[in-house]
Structure 1
Amino acid sequence: MEIIIKVNGRRIAEQIEPDLLLIDFLRKHGCYSVKRGCETANCGLCTVLMDNTPVLSCSVLAARADGHEIYTLEGLQEEASEFVGFIADQGADQCGFCNPGFVMNTIALLRENPDPTDDEIRAYLAGNLCRCSGYEGQLRGIRNFLDQRRK
């Protein structure tokens, strides 16, 4: 079957097998920030934005993305660069494996709610698995970014 997906602003038309997962389609097209973790939609490592909504690409067929716009971290570097340093300053990127999922969900959160409470941040990031930092560093980093932005 043929699908057409706009990935990071670039139109891609391709013949695919009906059971191809979106994560595999994206990685085939150079989006290596989209990581394979649990493959059960529980870790958030494969988070992408589909029409500006975070989705887990390991649980979405590429055929479902036909006609949609997908953004990965590769396409959102400028927006991500605004706050990733604040997260790094908190030591919240120890191994870095979970960072793309956290960054993608933080971008979606801040687009939806530019001034979230700590509880809203925690709720939005709850689906991201991090084995190193305990999540408090990410929360402090996002909070510091928001505080700095207000000044």
Structure 2
Amino acid sequence: MTLPVRLRDQVAGENGSAPAAVLAWGGVLLSVLAVLALTGQLTVAQARAATAADLAALAAADAAQVGAPSPCGVAAQVAERNGASLARCSVLGQDVVVTVEVPTGSRLGGGVRDTARAGPAPASTLPGTPEGLERQEGAP
């Protein structure tokens, strides 16, 4: 089957445009996938940092409560066991504030930081105290 002359001329003038369009769309797709992968890495690193900071702060607060000589040393050990490094630690009375950093794992470098605070609960929020009972009764 032969094409009419007019249609054949139109098709002949577009030779090679399909491969270029496929390459362009492939590049766009690869770029979108790269951004999604980087976002996923950052999200996972942020979750790991939050977990490590929470656990390190709780361990350090517990160590401070029992009179351990170095609550921040305990925080550093717990952070390291959770794939983080201790960036900052301070003991404020019975509370401990811990900041940890987790590497992102990407070629861009750097890391994700998160901070957590832990210590004994205020007496007014404990369930066995009169203040805590009043609060529970008034709660919906």
TM-score calculated relative to the size of structure 1: 0.24
Higher helix share: 2
The higher relative CO (CA closer than 8 Å, separation ≥ 6) is in 1
